[in-house]
């Protein structure tokens, strides 16, 4: 299981700080640059994560991901052009009391952090959907987001025994630790080969 991310120094290209987490199958180094987590060159030596690597419990924490005012305005203009996401004065008059990012923007960021953090190096077979999304507090310009990921359930598929279903609960937080969004979603994961499981 991954432990919460701890700070580290250095990077694969010498210009991005690293966030590191430990895993039973090896060491993972995540680089924070341009607002995204980016897997380092060490990733090529890391095993693909299978269903068996996701027991219930805390899986890891990823980030930070910086959100700029320009990103908020650009996403809103394209996908969610409501006044509280586009106009300062209108936002100040709204119940949000200031410019805020679209909830769908926040969900998209969370998905990016999941892919960069672990889904991109897992044996993911996709997801049947999202069970729950809760927007708890506004996403503000300048927020630095972290993502806490927990496995709430992991079970083998009855109809496809070579496949497992892992239920994730992801919580996005700002730098103050305030929870902005909770997302609960299953992801289908390939299981290891029987010989590997026995080992």
Domain ranges of the chain: 48-198
pLDDT over 70 at 7, yes or no? no
Alpha helices by DSSP H, 18-166: 69-79, 83-86, 88-93, 103-117
Query: Rounded to whole angstroms, how far apart are CA atoms 116 and 118?
Result: 6
Q: pTM for the complete prediction?
A: 0.76
pLDDT in tens, 26-53: 333 333 333 444 444 444 456 799 999 9
pLDDT in tens, 86-102: 999 999 999 999 999 99
Q: Are 75 and 139 in contact (CB under 8 A)?
A: no
Burial label for 195, CB within 10 Å (0-12, 13-18, 19+), is: exposed
Query: Which CATH number applies to 48-198?
Result: 3.10.129.10
Q: 48: which DSSP letter? A: P
């Amino acid at each position: 299981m991954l432990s919460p991310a701890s700070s580290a120094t250095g990077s694969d290209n010498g210009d991005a700080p690293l966030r590191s987490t430990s895993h039973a199958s090896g060491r993972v180094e995540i680089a924070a640059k341009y607002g995204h987590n980016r897997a380092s060159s060490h990733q090529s030596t890391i095993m693909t994560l299978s269903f068996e690597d996701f027991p219930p419990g805390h899986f890891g924490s990823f980030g930070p991901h910086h959100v700029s005012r320009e990103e908020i305005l650009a996403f809103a203009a394209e996908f969610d052009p409501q006044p509280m996401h586009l106009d300062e004065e209108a936002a100040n008059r709204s119940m949000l009391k200031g410019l805020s990012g679209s909830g769908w923007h926040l969900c998209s960021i969370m998905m990016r952090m999941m892919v960069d953090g672990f889904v991109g190096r897992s044996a993911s077979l996709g997801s049947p959907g999202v069970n729950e999304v809760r927007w708890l507090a506004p996403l503000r310009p300048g927020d630095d987001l972290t993502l806490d990921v927990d496995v709430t359930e992991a079970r083998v598929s009855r109809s496809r025994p070579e496949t497992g279903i892992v239920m994730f609960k992801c919580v996005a937080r700002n730098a103050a630790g305030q929870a902005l969004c909770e997302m609960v979603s299953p992801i289908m994961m390939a299981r290891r080969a029987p010989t590997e499981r026995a080992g």
